[in-house]
Chain A
Amino acid sequence: MNSFMLSRENFDKIRQEILLTWPTGKDLSLEEGIAYQKQIPPEKNFAVAMRQASENKETLIQPRAGVALIQDHIKLLQYLETEGGADLLPTTIDAYTRQNRYQEAAVGIEKSLQARTSLLNGFPAVNHGLAGCRQVTEAVKSPIQVRHGTPDARLLAEITLAGGFTSYEGGGISYNIPYAKKVPLQKSIDDWKYVDRLVGIYEENGVRINREPFSPLTGTLVPPFVSHVVAIVEGILALRQGVKSITLGYGQGGNLFQDLAALISLKNLAREFFAREGFDDYELTTVFHQWMGGFPEDEAKAFSVISWGASVAVLAGADKVIVKSPHEAMGIPTKEANAQGLKCTRQAINMLRDQVFPIGRKHQAEIDQIEKEVRCIMNAIYRLGNGDVEAGVIAAFAAGAMDVPFAPSVHNQGKILPMRDNEGFIRVFNKGNLALDDEIMDYHRGKLEERAAAEGRQVCFQMVTDDIYAISKGRLVGRPK
């Protein structure tokens, strides 16, 4: 037990309140949930699957998927497992549940029943309750994870972990700043302490639950150092509550060398800062997200984006890759389109799995650059928090020393403006108040000037807009018309 750990007394007090926020929470027993988890076979445990993938140097594939009704959701998952060949399954939670609007979710379930199709963009797990979740987790053969975007995910965690899910995505920063408008960072971090502590209690009772901070953040030109800082801080916050299986991630940027450097540096940096915090007993694995920004509408073009993401994931040695579908530009995919994304990904992985990509001097320089940037921001966080990473990260967001591009939260300054350099590396155009030193900024500026010269225009905001829509329009760098 460390001094940051939520005490059992406080945990129980919060638990009593949180279980009463919707009728399906009322009769939940933690002991019964732990007993239920214990009879789940190891081949269905997410933490085991991630550890084995890492040991065997495999890249597992996982889709996103969730619909309103239990039977339809089961059919969807079974299809992705058998026809799509997914190694790991998701249950994506609908947007009403993510905002704790269970009444609206109930209306969505009702309307979906009437329409005979899902009008919700995910599975409303709180409304379906413990029995509904167990129906889902028992109907599939693979490890299954809750994927969402919930600032206050305490009740959802209680229900889904007792319901047989063995991995839980999210974190107090990554499920607030890109997913909420007005939730204070201290509030979401406190609420996620509860979730991590719940996972810690399962752990202490012999059940290992995997935790995965949401790395891509806004999915739009996020420089590697920005998502790395969030991943590392959330990793530390989870370790403090007794979590042992942590999967840190990175969302594809688009330039091969930057993406390889990002995934390699992420693991090094996480180990460095976890050690600094006094942690050495944990399982660290990685996830790579295929392109999270705007997709081409043309399905053949979309497959190209998916295949490129799959390729980079393998070459970078990611333990798992989150897969997109050819319907991405239009929103939520059909089960057929979702399975196609999985097959496309599998083919690329199998063709590249035995190949080794050598890291040359130029690539090492990019790894060093990302590490320098992350240490720069992390040092500011420790400085602002008088040595404590939690207080520091809250202060850093308030001061803009840490800043996420294009995020909806008012607690994020949003002054950072990223754009691509001439080779498609994501660089910082305007740093706002980010705690990056002059040497780093000179490097970024120099790279952007190279592009400006090549395009015969000044470095300008139009380039940012051009870059945001570039991939959906058919290329990586948003060149002038």
Chain B
Amino acid sequence: MINVVLGVIGFDCHSVGNKILEAFFVESGFKVTNLGVMVSQEEFIDAAIETDARVILVSSLYGHGEIDCAGLREKCIEKGLENILLYVGGNLVVGKTPPDEVERKFLKMGYDRVFGPDCELEKVVELLNGDLEAKKDCD
């Protein structure tokens, strides 16, 4: 079973989507460590190390995503998580911004996949399975 770490980053307390995501990923056959809301970068990394997770699923709904998400990739590498997948999704910036602009910004920060607030969860799992397969070949 593949371990995933899930949580809402920073000082964001949007909890509804987090509970739905947990239910969906469990149903899709993943072992989910859900850290809930208001999770720091350090907590994400510690949980990923502890559970030997292959992917960290970061949510941000309140607009501070740009500040909160920066640097997570570098911290992961520092802690020896060179190969971990980083997915991020939600309302990631303040104000209505074209999705491709948001995507570019977060890909540049080192995230592997960037999702909007309305993404289809089935699609996310499909992409994740593909990315995990591709990573396997690199190992």
Q: Give me the interface of A with B, judged by CB distance under 8 Å.
A: 94-96, 98-99, 101, 104, 107-108, 111, 117-121, 149, 178-181, 218, 220, 297, 327, 329-334, 337, 406-408, 461, 465, 468, 472
Contacts and interface: CB of A to CB of B under 8 A. Distances in A.
B15 A117 contact: no
Contacts of B19: 406
Interface in B1-33: 10-16, 18-20, 23
A442 to B, nearest CB: 27
A331 B13 contact: no
Given A96-B64, A330-B117, A332-B63, A408 B96 contact: no
A452 B13 CA distance: 32
A121 B66 CA distance: 11
Nearest to B118: A297
B67 interface: yes
Contacts of B37: 181, 408
B94 A117 contact: yes
Contacts of A149: 13
Given A220-B16, A330-B117, A96 B94 contact: no
Closest 4 CB pairs of A and B: A408-B15, A331-B91, A121-B63, A408-B37
Q: Which of A181, A331, A408, A465 has the most CB of B within 10 A?
A: A331
Given A120-B94, A181-B36, A111 B15 contact: no
Q: Number of contact residues on B: which range applies? A: 20 to 34
Given A218-B16, A329-B117, 17 more contacts: A99-B38, A107-B67, A108-B67, A178-B15, A220-B16, A297-B118, A327-B96, A330-B117, A331-B61, A332-B63, A332-B94, A334-B96, A406-B15, A406-B16, A408-B37, A465-B20, A472-B118
Nearest to B8: A408
A96 B118 contact: no
Q: Which of A96, A101, A333 has the most CB of B within 10 A?
A: A96
B87 to A, nearest CB: 19
Contacts of B14: 408
Contacts of B18: 408
Interface in B76-116: 91, 93-97
Given A119-B66, A220-B16, A95 B11 contact: yes
B67 A178 contact: no
A350 B45 CA distance: 54
